[in-house]
Amino acid sequence: MRRTALVTGASHRVGRAIALELARTGFDVAVHYRSSREGAAEVVEGCRALGAQAFAVQGDLEHPDQTLGLAAQVAERFERLTLLVNNASIFIPRSFQGTSLDELRRNMAVHVEAPFLLSQALLPHLQAAAQADPELESSLVCHLCDIAAERPFKGYTAYSASKAALVMLVKSMAIELAPLVRTVGVAPGHVAWPPDYDDATKARMLRRIPQGRVGTPVEAARLVRFLCLEGTYINGDVVRIDGGLSRRY
Ligand SMILES: NC(=O)c1ccc[n+]([C@@H]2O[C@H](COP(=O)([O-])OP(=O)(O)OC[C@H]3O[C@@H](n4cnc5c(N)ncnc54)[C@H](OP(=O)(O)O)[C@@H]3O)[C@@H](O)[C@H]2O)c1
């Protein structure tokens, strides 16, 4: 049986690396995007070049109807879904006082509502994949969290608060959906610099990372692959991938 995955926000950066890593490992992949159509098409081609069946699906996860539409399209193509990766994200700096209710809601929609709705809508397909794959025993929902869910980034209240809610979704789903479906979180530190960081900001951040370097999208992707295929007794945990950054005071 071919294993299958949906990766949201998979046109660039971490999502792209996850989609390609899964294709390399033998998964067929649904490559979700919002606005980066060309990037998604390149990732689809890259997955196909690795022997996978892959297709692109569009949807703005701020809108529940589009999120459910995305789930329906994936369900139509993949009767069974081995892995759901909730990776799509918005990361916009705003002071606490400068954060509008609309911005808070947008963060909650992309980081909490969409992962919740996709997981709910695709649950029968995740369960079906687990039942058809005795070697694996369970399917996986992997939410991309952030070490900022534990210790907030100053100037990113809406982002940090919504990622903290996502961590609780990991734990709640883990105790309700097992044994057929496990749920985990992956919490990166810095694995791909935000495009708006200047050299001085990067240097300041690098000095705080015990491993002395930024991580890579491929390292995050390998962790997701590991959690699905090797870490088959891991459920309800959020695994940090941050070079030791969050251990520092
Ligand atoms: N990069 C890091 O070092 C880092 C650190 C900590 C945590 N993380 C987490 O790891 C994940 C991947 O990080 P990243 O930096 O690769 O993410 P990113 O580049 O900021 O975003 C990934 C994709 O999310 C999609 N997206 C944004 N808003 C959307 C919406 N309303 N509806 C649907 N899709 C939307 C975008 O797709 P389009 O381009 O198609 O619009 C974007 O390409 C995220 O969950 C992030 O919070 C990353």
What's the 90 CA to ligand 1 centre distance in angstroms? 6
Q: What percent of the chain shows pLDDT beyond 90?
A: 98
Superfamily of domain 3-247: NAD(P)-binding Rossmann-like Domain (3.40.50.720)
Task: With beta carbons less than 8 A apart as the criterion, state whether 146 and 187 touch.
Answer: yes
Q: Domain locations in the chain?
A: 3-247
90 pocket-lining for ligand 1 (C-beta < 6 Å): yes
Computed over every residue of the chain, the mean pLDDT equals 97
Atom number in ligand 1 closest to CA 111: 45
Q: What percent of the chain shows pLDDT beyond 70?
A: 100
pLDDT band at 223; cut points 50, 70, 90: very high
Which of 10-19, 156-165, 196-205, 217-226 has the weakest average pLDDT? 196-205
Q: Region 1-21: what's the mean pLDDT?
A: 98
15 pocket-lining for ligand 1 (C-beta < 6 Å): yes
pLDDT over 90 (residue 1): no
Q: At what angle do helices 157-177 and 101-108 cross, to 10 degrees?
A: 30
Q: Region 63-91: what's the mean pLDDT?
A: 98
Distance CA 130, CA 136 (A): 7
Distance CA 232, CA 174 (A): 13
pLDDT over 90 (residue 19): yes
Query: What is the pLDDT, as a whole number, of residue 159?
Result: 97
What's the 12 CA to ligand 1 centre distance in angstroms? 8
pLDDT over 90 (residue 94): yes
DSSP string of the chain, one letter each residue: --EEEEESS-SSHHHHHHHHHHHHTTEEEEEEESS-HHHHHHHHHHHHHTT--EEEEE--TTSHHHHHHHHHHHHHH-SS-SEEEE-------B-TTT--HHHHHHHHIIIIIHHHHHHHHHHHHHHHHHHT-TTT-SEEEEEE--GGGTSPPTTBHHHHHHHHHHHHHHHHHHHHHTTTEEEEEEEESSSS--TT--HHHHHHHHHH-TTSS---HHHHHHHHHHHHHT-TT--S-EEEESTTGGG--
pLDDT over 90 (residue 41): yes
Query: What is the pLDDT, as a whole number, of residue 249?
Result: 78
pLDDT over 90 (residue 175): yes
Query: What is the pLDDT, as a whole number, of residue 145?
Result: 98
pLDDT over 90 (residue 38): yes
Q: Region 73-92: what's the mean pLDDT?
A: 98
What's the 162 CA to ligand 1 centre distance in angstroms? 14
Q: What is the pLDDT of residues 116-132, one digit of tens each?
A: 999 999 999 999 999 99
pLDDT band at 3; cut points 50, 70, 90: very high
* Residue written as token pair 């690098």: 206
What's the 132 CA to ligand 1 centre distance in angstroms? 31
Token couple for 205? 């951040």
Give the C-alpha distances (Å, rounded to integers) separating 235 from 64, 65, 141, 177.
Answer: 27, 29, 10, 10
27 pocket-lining for ligand 1 (C-beta < 6 Å): no
61 pocket-lining for ligand 1 (C-beta < 6 Å): yes
Q: What is the pLDDT of residues 45-66, one digit of tens each?
A: 999 999 999 999 999 999 999 9
What's the 94 CA to ligand 1 centre distance in angstroms? 17
| Nearest in space to 18 (alpha carbons), one of 191, 244, 212 | 191
